[in-house]
Amino acid sequence: MEKRGRLYAGKAKTVFETADADRLILHFRDDTSAFDGGRTAALKNKGAVNNYFNAHIMEKLAAAGIATHFEKILGDNESLVKRLDMIGVECVVRNIAAGSICKRLGLEEGLVLDEPLYELFLKDDALHDPLINEDHAVLFKWAARDELRVMREMTLRVNRALQALFAEVGILLVDFKLEFGRFHGDILLGDEFTPDGCRIWDAATRKKLDKDRFRRELGGVVEAYQEAALRLGIDIKV
């Protein structure tokens, strides 16, 4: 697929147009960002690791019947995807308390929740991605009520599929964030699923295998992503 002009550069990916108006190329960079851009660094090989990680997860989700934008890997750092009209709301599921919910509600990290907790955030770094509910999203026209219902159902299905996938290799799926978009009348899972946008812990030791290693300056960030990938049987070619 022929790469055309750069459409958009996010904090960790650059998006390119292609000759096909319905297809984009995602380029996973080594750039890493946390705290809404407050801390950034380039971590060698992270882009390629995340590209292969994302491809594997998106293929597993497709096999589980979840419609995604992913089409195929094009190279170490690039994948071809469908061009979505993105919905600017972030869908989060938590199975174990960590991160912002601990601060917000005074919970201890590691509290296992009785059932998956679904939360919505507005995708807006300048506002620090505030927590919202479905009524905000409808009122301010970020998404329609029926779209939000589909997003919630799909996010909870992703949680069930990935909890099982990670459990098989001794990893706890603590929480994750998804983004969705519209494509010819359907809602598809877009963006990425990588250790940049989820929390995953070793089930035995609770060692963090995700971006909290970067947020908390624990070191071994890409090595931990690679460890998770290796356990999942992902063939990373770098």
176 binds ligand TMP (CB under 6 A): yes
Which partner from the list ligand ASP, ligand TMP, none does 213 bind, CB cut-off 5 to 8 Å by kind?
Answer: none
Task: Rule CB under 6 A: say whether 34 interacts with ligand ASP.
Answer: yes
Could you tell me the smallest distance in angstroms from the CB atom of residue 11 to ligand ASP? 5
Return the range that interacts with ligand TMP (CB under 6 A); candidates 48-56, 63-71, 73-81, 173-181. 173-181
Q: Assess contact for 24 and 204: CB atoms under 8 A.
A: no
Residue 11 lies near ligand ASP (rule: CB under 6 A)? yes
Please list, residue by residue across 113-142, b when 16 or more beta carbons sit within 10 angstroms of its beta carbon and e when fewer do.
Answer: eeeeebbbbbeeeeeebeebebeebeeeeb
Q: Which residues contact 121 (CB under 8 A, 6 or more apart)?
A: 89, 90, 92, 129, 130, 131, 132, 177
Return the ∠ at Cα 90 (arms to 86 and 94), rounded to 5°.
Answer: 145
Q: Which of 46, 82 has the CB closer to ligand ASP?
A: 46
Member of 9, 20, 22, 35 binding ligand ASP (CB under 6 A): 35
Which of 30-38, 149-157, 198-206, 229-237 is the region at the interface with ligand ASP (rule: CB under 6 A)? 30-38
CB 185, min distance to ligand ASP, A: 30
**Owner of token pair 């931990």:** 224
CA distance 208 to 114: 21
90 binds, among ligand ASP, ligand TMP, none (CB under 5 to 8 A by kind): ligand TMP
